[in-house]
Structure 1
Amino acid sequence: MAQGLTRDIAERFAGIALSHVTREYPHKPGIVFAGPDDLRAPSAMHPVFHGSFDWHSCVHGYWLLARLLRLYPGLGRAGEIRALFDRQLVPEKVAGECATIDAPAARGFERPYGWAWLLTLAAELRGAEQARWGGALAPLTERIATRFADFLPIAPYPVRVGTHFNTAFALRLAADHAEGAFLDLLRERALAWYGTDADCPAWGEPGGDDFLSPTLIEAEALRRLLPPDRFRPWFDRFLPRLTEGRPASLFTPALATDRSDGKIAHLDGLNLSRAWCFRALSRALPADDARRTAMDEAADRHLAAAMPHLTGDYMGEHWLASFALLALEA
């Protein structure tokens, strides 16, 4: 039976995220230092998102907590989550985040991965209880959304790697926040970048430090951004041999050989993100479509390979649960 999100799993995930979203060290900075005055402690540069090893992981750690709080308001650790948000998601701390990214040298800070996660967090904070925290975050959300919208028209080519720079992943997450002209822009870029792709061989997958499948996340972005009557013909052309288990490289879980190595640990995330995409894409097809069985079975294999390894070493522990949540909810 396919594994899904349960109350017990939610409790575990909340505990994992609460253990690291305010853990300041070790820390990997993503900012460009323009001079010696920029050398500050992570919590001074990022008053809200200074934990979880790096800025983007901290952002999606908050997303995980916000989502679990909405899904399970009576969660055992709900009080800790609310207290954290009341302490951190406040105007003065968000203003400090804004000041850091407003620096001229920070124009490309976290583009596009961290941008997409910030917008996803903002979308999650639209709920009734979460609205007060979303309101506090709004100045940063508005800056990131503007930066994203300004960037897309000047980006003539997609980035098709399996890491943070992947543009399809950014489009997919940003779509959960976007409305109106911004959503139209995301859709236009998706079609310009990927609309004519066909018969994808998934060549080079997986790479040694991938946590995304360039093939599957592209398909998932198009699924999210296109109406079904436009997505399904595109998907038929893009991956025409799924019932044959091809491209074969997509159907075999990746092997992480050293989870203390931050790059190799990415491969556990690849298994989780593949499971997420396989599940979401399967559910976009008719119930009697034979491709659903192939994709659902592949998702189960990838989940089974990754779920035992969400904790144990901080190189994976500071981020993997967010991707596990995506997969379990899909």
Structure 2
Amino acid sequence: MTSRRETQLLARAAEYSAAALRNIRKEFPNDIRSTMRFAGDFPNRPRDLYPAFYGCFDWHSCVEMHWLLVRLLRTIPDAVPADDIRTALNEHFTADALKGEAETFRTKGSRARPYGWGWALMLHHEIAGWDDPDAQTWSANLAPLSAAVTDAFLGWLPKQTYPVRTGAHNNSAFGLSRALPYARSQTENPALLTAIQDAATRWFSADTDYPAGWEPSGADFLSPALTEAELQASLLSRTDFAAWFDRFLPELPAALLTPATVSDDSDGQIAHLRGLNLSRAWCLLRVADSLPAADPRQPLLISAVEAHADPELDHVSGSDYMVEHWLACYAVLYLTAGSRDQAGRAPQRAET
């Protein structure tokens, strides 16, 4: 972390973790989605289907907010209520609860493709790389769910002819980006990594003159242009990425560098735009960091990073539940971007 982002994180870490702890245990209201296979085939309550990830309004938000808690506990344990976080994670990451999550995923499927899938694998990756006794137990307990998610990716990616270029959960690039570090860590079974690399090449390698000036749409929390660029930055060498980015966005449109205006935090779709500003900040930071040194676009990108992120960091909690049940995840993703995110990036070649 840069000193600036580190200072911002330390000032807000207790607030963000408190919001996450409240929300992962808040079962209602809940936007539960379940395909009914026969009369009466519907849960009485969310935790009947999701014994670990029943809170935060919906499954994928609950998964990513658990990632937030692990990330903070792992990186800045002295700045957060570490005992409270461990207690909550021990409650939710039991072998039985996560076995139930895997069973639900395999039998009922998941509508959060690939968004929630990628976050589930990112959660496991964050835990598995941590030399901590609790984390090793949690990692072992998560293995059945990660195996189910991996199988789902392997069944889906080869037949997905076209990417989904949207600013919400179906966004193809962001889901792959979240799954990529976990895939890279599976050195004994590279099938998922190969499938992600093949899909990204098929979908994005030939993209040119992307119409990023059309962004944003009214309910975006992701930038289709920037999530694609961030994924490519993770897969390509620095030199190859710069060449691809030159073709993809020959010019940086003002619309992509200007923060979105949020008019109503209580409207779940409009409130997505707060997440757009923070996820854009993360993507812009990753893109700037992936360009060659002294690239003339870097100062413009970094200026846009701060313009997007700084006003949003104070909106993460204390506003409306439509914001609070998920937004802290994007604040922490941005504020902790650094060496651990580089696990998803290709090895860099020397500049020529």
User: Under a length normalisation based on structure 2, what TM-score does the superposition of the two structures give?
Assistant: 0.89
Contact 1:4 1:328 in 2 (8 A): yes
Q: Does 1:111 align with 2:113?
A: yes
Cα distance per residue 1:226-247 (max 9 Å; x no partner): 2223222111211122xxxx31
Contact 1:211 1:273 in 2 (8 A): yes
Higher mean C-alpha deviation, range 155-164 or range 1-10: 1-10
Q: State the alpha-carbon separation in 1 of the partners of residues 212 and 34 from structure 2.
A: 33
Matches within 5 A, 1:181-192: 181-192=191-202
2:258 is matched with which residue?
252
Q: State the alpha-carbon separation in 1 of the partners of residues 205 and 249 from structure 2.
A: 13
* Superposition CA RMSD, Å: 1.5
Matches within 5 A, 1:88-99: 88-99=92-103
1:325 is matched with which residue?
332
Q: Which of 313, 318, 322 is the aligned partner of 1:315?
A: 322
Letter in 1 for 2:212: A
Contact 1:60 1:118 in 2 (8 A): yes
Letter in 2 for 1:4: R
Tell me by how many angstroms 1:329 deviates. Answer: 2.2
Seen in structure 2, the aligned counterparts of structure 1 residues 41 and 302 have a Cα distance that, compared at 3 Å, is same
SS of the residue aligned with 2:70?
helix
Q: State the alpha-carbon separation in 2 of the partners of residues 281 and 76 from structure 1.
A: 30
Q: State the alpha-carbon separation in 2 of the partners of residues 78 and 145 from structure 1.
A: 30
Q: State the alpha-carbon separation in 2 of the partners of residues 169 and 139 from structure 1.
A: 23
2:77 is matched with which residue?
73
Q: State the alpha-carbon separation in 2 of the partners of residues 203 and 159 from structure 1.
A: 18
Q: State the alpha-carbon separation in 2 of the partners of residues 39 and 78 from structure 1.
A: 33
Identity of aligned residues (%): 41
1:166 is matched with which residue?
171
Q: Does 1:86 align with 2:87?
A: no
Seen in structure 2, the aligned counterparts of structure 1 residues 116 and 258 have a Cα distance that, compared at 3 Å, is same
SS of the residue aligned with 2:201?
helix
Letter in 1 for 2:131: A
2:48 is matched with which residue?
44
Q: Which of 113, 128, 131 is the aligned partner of 1:128?
A: 131
Q: State the alpha-carbon separation in 2 of the partners of residues 115 and 76 from structure 1.
A: 27
Seen in structure 2, the aligned counterparts of structure 1 residues 216 and 67 have a Cα distance that, compared at 3 Å, is same
Tell me by how many angstroms 1:82 deviates. Answer: 0.8
Number of matched pairs? 324
Higher mean C-alpha deviation, range 308-317 or range 46-55: 308-317
Seen in structure 2, the aligned counterparts of structure 1 residues 204 and 305 have a Cα distance that, compared at 3 Å, is same
2:145 is matched with which residue?
140
Q: Is there any run of 5+ residues in structure 1 with no aligned partner, and where?
A: none
Tell me by how many angstroms 1:2 deviates. Answer: 8.3
Seen in structure 2, the aligned counterparts of structure 1 residues 235 and 322 have a Cα distance that, compared at 3 Å, is same
User: Under a length normalisation based on structure 1, what TM-score does the superposition of the two structures give?
Assistant: 0.94
Q: State the alpha-carbon separation in 2 of the partners of residues 98 and 31 from structure 1.
A: 15
Q: Is there any run of 5+ residues in structure 2 with no aligned partner, and where?
A: 185-189, 338-352
SS of the residue aligned with 1:95?
helix
Q: Which of 161, 164, 187 is the aligned partner of 1:156?
A: 161
Contact 1:3 1:300 in 2 (8 A): no
1:207 is matched with which residue?
217
SS of the residue aligned with 2:181?
coil
SS of the residue aligned with 1:288?
coil
Contact 2:16 2:316 in 1 (8 A): no
Q: Does 1:60 align with 2:64?
A: yes
Q: State the alpha-carbon separation in 2 of the partners of residues 87 and 75 from structure 1.
A: 22
Q: Does 1:292 align with 2:295?
A: no
Higher mean C-alpha deviation, range 144-153 or range 222-231: 222-231
Tell me by how many angstroms 1:76 deviates. Answer: 3.8
